[in-house]
Amino acid sequence: MAEFQNVITDIAGLREIIGAPSHRVLNKVIDRIDELAARFIAASPFAVIASRNGDGHLDLSPKGDAAGSFVRVIDQQTLAVPDRLGNRRLDTLTNLLDDLNMGMIFLVPGKRETLRISGHSG
């Protein structure tokens, strides 16, 4: 295995290599589900949920169904995500019993953009 010549140990080191994000990229983070995000969710037939158990182990679980009948936006802070029987492992649900924090990424076929949402269950 080749030796690493540069070891990055802080954010400044990362920024030196990658550069700063644009103003547009920084402004895309919002604290609610706005109309654009709600339309993206309604168009998405597939999402991945990230959760973590009490030991800190991460899980990424695929979720999907017909677009428009899959995840529902309840209000600007709340989503309803169905859990299908699937493999019956219950990874996400049991993880949420340990740690309420979670994240989701929504995908729409044919789109280059994705929608990321993070928050907590409850």
For the record, the structure tokens of 20 come out as: 């700063």
Q: How far is CA 30 from CA 64, 76, 94, 103, in A?
A: 24, 11, 28, 14
- Name the fold adopted by 11-120: Pnp Oxidase; Chain A (2.30.110)
Element (H, E) at 64: strand 58-64
**pLDDT number for residue 113:** 94
Unique residue bearing structure tokens 């789109």: 111
Question: Environment class of residue 43 by beta-carbon count within 10 Å: exposed (0-12), middle (13-18) or buried (19+)?
Answer: middle
**pLDDT number for residue 1:** 47
For the record, the structure tokens of 1 come out as: 């295995």
**pLDDT number for residue 5:** 67
Q: What is the pLDDT along the chain (122 residues), one digit of tens a residue?
A: 456 667 888 999 899 889 999 988 888 888 999 999 999 999 999 999 999 999 999 999 999 999 988 899 999 999 999 887 778 888 999 999 999 999 999 999 999 999 999 999 87
**pLDDT number for residue 87:** 80
**pLDDT number for residue 19:** 93
Q: Are 105 and 47 in contact (CB under 8 A)?
A: yes
Where do the domains of the chain lie? 11-120
**pLDDT number for residue 4:** 63
